[in-house]
Amino acid sequence: MCGRFVLTLPQDAIARLFDARPVNDLPDVPNYNICPTNPVHFIRTGPDGRQIASLRWGFLPHWYKSPTDGPLLINARAETIAEKPAFREACRQRRGLIVASGFYEWTKDAEDNRLPWYFRRSDGAPIAFAAVWQSWGRDEARQETCAIVTTAANMKLEGLHHRMPLILEPEDWALWLGEQGKGAARLMVPGKEHVLEFFRVGTKVNSNRAEGPDLIEPLEDEDELG
């Protein structure tokens, strides 16, 4: 699962990395606490090449009569995305990438306190989450929405959580985006063991209003590092 994430990469660096151009007003960066319903940096392929667009994180199926007409769909399971009515057409026609620097996950202690962990690529590179998008509503209410694709956690992460975002390597971006024909289904497998590292961070991030770079500072206790 992925319920909160971080993006610190500057706008121009995102454009260069993904060879994409902005098509609307993008969210401010850095942001150390991106939450569901927030706008996110979304990469997709348009008629004139790759685009960076601001999309609402929280996929709205076309049959929703309002944004609160059903559950908030922030994640889509890779195992069932091609079958679920909410996602199956988007999986075939509207795939994209959500840009991140890292993401959070939580465990609980014996007293049921939520303990946050921060995950990032071990090579320091930005993260590209596999994602799908949906245009919802009409006229002034029209908005573009998205969900992150998740898969079963790899062996390194499964002790903390049974799910993880589907993270794509640069050589796979074009295939997922549909620029290299079909075959994206083969990408929906647990991530490579070496891709991510993780460590405990302070409980300040338990609040969705928290902000600032201190949210991703590791705790000093080395025994809690991943």
pLDDT tens digits along 155-167? 777 788 889 999 9
Please tell me the total count of domains within the chain: 1
3-state secondary structure 79-97: CCCCCCCCCHHHHHHCEEE
Q: Is the pTM of this model over 0.95?
A: no
- pLDDT (0 to 100) of residue 162: 85
Judge whether residue 194 has pLDDT over 80. Answer: no
The pLDDT value given to residue 52: 98
pLDDT digit string (tens) for 170-192?
Answer: 999 999 999 987 667 677 665 56
- pLDDT for 50: 97
Which one has a higher pLDDT value, 162 or 26?
Answer: 26
Element (H, E) at 171: helix 170-176
Question: What is the mean pLDDT of the segment spanning 82-110?
Answer: 95
> What's the confidence (pLDDT) of residue 220?
77
222, pLDDT greater than 50: no
Non-local CB neighbours of 172 within 8 Å, separated by 6+ positions: 187
Among 116-125, 139-148, 180-189, the range scoring the smallest mean pLDDT is: 180-189
From residue 161, how far is each of 8, 108, 152, 164, 207 by CA, in Å?
A: 24, 11, 9, 7, 20
Query: What's the pLDDT at 2?
Result: 83
Beta carbons within 8 Å of 56's beta carbon, 6+ residues apart = 37, 38, 39, 40, 143, 144, 145, 146
The mean pLDDT of 10-26, rounded to a whole number, is: 96
Percent of the chain whose pLDDT exceeds 70? 92
Does residue 33 register a pLDDT over 90?
A: yes
3 state SS of 196: strand
Q: What is the pLDDT of residue 71?
A: 95
The domain containing residue 37 runs over which residues? 5-224
Mean pLDDT in residue range 51-59: 98
Residue whose pair of structure tokens reads 């609980």 in the numeric block: 108
Q: What are phi and psi of 17, to 5 degrees?
A: -60, -40
Cα separation, 42 vs 95, in Å, equals 10
Residue 34 sits in a domain whose CATH number is: 3.90.1680.10
The predicted pLDDT at position 1 comes to: 66
User: What is the mean pLDDT of the segment spanning 210-220?
Assistant: 95
